[in-house]
Amino acid sequence: MSKTSGSPPVVVTLAEIARLAGVGRAAVSNWRRRYDSFPSPVGGTDTSPQFSLPQVEEWLRRENKLKTALNPLDRLWPEYESLGDRETTGLLVARVGLRQSGVETAGPAGGPRLDQRQTRLLERTLELAQPDEEAKTFELLLDRWLRTHVRQITTTPVQLAELMVQAAAMNHPGPVRSVLDPACGTGTLLIAAGRRWDAGRATRLRFLGQDSDPVLVELAKARLSVDGFAERDLSNVSLAAGDTLRGDAHLGTQADVILSNPPSNERDWGHAELATDPRWVYGQPPRTEPELAWVQHAAAALAPGGVAVLVLPPAVAARRAGRRIRAGLLRSGVLRTVIALPPGVAPPYGVGLHLWILHADGVPGRGGADGRELTFVDTTHATRPVSVDSVGVDWSAVTEQVVGVLGGTSMLGSVSVPVVDLLDDQVDLTPARRVPRTRAATIVDLRRLWTRFDSHMGEVREAADALSALIPADGDETVPLISVGELERAGALEIRTGQGLPESLVRRGERQEDETRVLTGTPLSGQAQLWLPASAVAAGEQDGSLTVTAPQDVIVSVLARAFDVRVESDAPSVLGPQLSALRVNPAVLDPWFLSGCLRAPANVHRAGTHASTTSRIDVRRLHVPRLSLEEQRQYGEVYRKIAVFERELTDMKTVGGELSRALGDLLAAGHLPRD
């Protein structure tokens, strides 16, 4: 492998080895166990080892483990990663796209130029790309870069971008000459706009954008160039790096269409220094309402007749602090439509986001909204049972519903409300509070809920049959007890205490690839979905700053008000500071037996005080009976059934409550059978 003198070695992870060999990661782990000749790690950690790429390639060829010919670009990617930081790698990927498109650029303003090693890697990449697959080369590198840094970069899914463009087009029937995204990221929304309005035009569509991350700006330029939407000199593309709210790079420019998925929940957005900003026509956004700053920025940047479509968190529609600004947007006729999307359409995946559609002042709208009314659309109960994507969103049903409402051909899941009826003390613009549930949606929910209820009932019945057959033993024989502290001193178990978490890296929502679950001190059976990147977990485990579980660990929530015990079945997990993990010696202790005994109410009273809600349980003072391992396993098997019984009862209660509410909706609407 050619590389400059002093360059760091190129290393690969197990996942990269699996990708090179065209197999699953489990197969690579199996090779490590079976073959003594498998290369030894040259870095990383025990849980995330790194291997020398040349050694791995040599071994794969020698053992005939390459199922297909090695893709030169797959082999090149580890060299990109070995460049070091995210910025250097991302800028080089952007340079690949720009060069392939015939665009010469010196890189971001004030940014570093390519060194000899980076230049050599760029030239090798361009040489390897087939003439008819240049776009594919760039897209492969970009996809790898985004997946590597998925925790730090939030992208707008393509399906959501297409829906936003379609909504904008239906509200802007005239010609579109310019599109602006004030928080453009890697340019997904601009690309979607180009596909809608740039194809076959004599005059190229003008793309405007800004982002605080210079690397994302360069990648957006490269994407527009590779997709054929940019002139060779980028004369129709004006993308700038910088803080849009504090320093608008397109000040005074007005756009026909604005599409944006702006950052949310940012407190340091310039509240104090922008107090007299002329964009705040409807009131200065409170410090806790940065999203309303982006809304007013978009409204100020619209050309006459322009339309803006923004992705916003649902809280923006109802937070008390923003009610005056919401009222101003309604009175002026700027805000015309609020669309509630189902959870899973975009990060954070556990939240149902909203789309706000804005019109320039005084311009008639479509879809039932003329400035005197606000149209609400609720797509969270899409009813078409068609195929869904990886996060469970029925995009075809959502799109069909939105297009039908905006086009005036359907009112399914929507309602138009006079503005005067919305101007109360709350100015709550949440669609779910305005749109009545449809009979069809409720029936679909009922079928789904009855299926879940029947499943839980079957599990409860099976566990109940097994547990009801148990007969307590006769006699008053007292079983000797032993404390957890004594078991620890005897080496039967090890206590690992949870630690503080790197809050800036913890992510909420659906799990993404290569993430590890985080557990906090809340009841273990109802944990929120929190995740940490695997790289941070590996580093924290290596330096001792994080506590990571293993299979069959007994996890204890030590807060008295939330005491709970569970056997770990989804390892690895990262434990927060109110949790402990008991790692047993399986030759001495059965984890299920230990877990069942620790949960006994008498144990809890013995081990801790309840003087306040912050009281903690002293795990070492908990006791378990002294039994042989064989007896422990018998008791442990019983506790497994108890745990299933308890879990299924809880789930059945939850589903039963949802069923009751769904039946109540049908009853209130007069849709239950009259006979």
Q: Using one digit for the tens of pLDDT, what is the confidence trace for 359-414?
A: 997 555 444 445 689 999 999 865 443 333 334 578 888 999 999 999 988 888 88
List, as one string, the DSSP characters of 353-398. Answer: -EEEEEE-TT---STT-SSSEEEEEE-TT--------TT---HHHH
pLDDT at 367: 43
User: What local confidence, expressed as pLDDT, does residue 371 receive?
Assistant: 63
- Helix (H/G/I), strand (E/B), else coil: 566: strand
Helix/strand/coil for 349: coil
Q: What is the mean pLDDT of residues 182-187?
A: 95
pLDDT at residue 253, as a whole number: 92
- State how far the Cα of 269 lies from the Cα of 282, in Å rounded to an integer: 18
> Which two structure tokens, joined as six digits, stand for 222?
């490269």
* Pairwise CA distance, residues 167 & 376, whole Å: 14
- 259 against 667, higher pLDDT: 259
- pLDDT tens for each residue of 62-85: 888 876 555 666 667 777 777 778
Show Cβ contacts of residue 572 under 8 Å, excluding neighbours closer than 6 positions.
Answer: 47, 516, 517, 537, 548, 549, 550
The mean pLDDT of the chain is 82
Whether 607 shows a pLDDT value over 60: the answer reads no
The pLDDT, as a whole number, for residue 55 is 87
pLDDT of residue 350: 75
Which has more confidence, 670 or 414? 414
Judge whether residue 525 has pLDDT over 60: no
Q: Which is nearest to 354 in space by CA: 396, 411, 410, 315?
A: 315
Query: Quick one: what percent of the chain has pLDDT higher than 70?
Result: 84
Where are the alpha helices (H) located in 256-375, listed in sequence order? 290-300, 323-332
Give pLDDT, residue 399: 93
Section 196-218 average pLDDT = 89
Going from the C-alpha of 109 to that of each of 68, 95, 112, 473, the distances in angstroms are 42, 14, 9, 80
- 316-325, 336-345, 377-386: the lowest-pLDDT one: 377-386
277 pLDDT band, cuts 50/70/90, is: very high
Q: Look at the pTM and tell me if it is higher than 0.95.
A: no
Lowest mean pLDDT among 78-87, 216-225, 582-591: 78-87
Strands 255-260 and 302-312: parallel
Peptide bond into 418 cis (omega under 30): no
CB 215: neighbour CB atoms within 10 A?
Answer: 24
Q: What is the mean pLDDT of residues 573-599?
A: 88
Most confident region among 222-236, 238-252, 542-556 by mean pLDDT: 238-252
pLDDT band at 145 (very low <50, low <70, confident <90, very high): confident
pLDDT computed for residue 345 by the predictor: 87
pLDDT at 513 over 80: no
Report the relative pairing of strands 373-378 and 573-575 from DSSP bridges: unpaired
What is the side-by-side order of every strand in the sheet holding 49-52? 11-12, 49-52, 43-44
pLDDT at 436 over 80: no
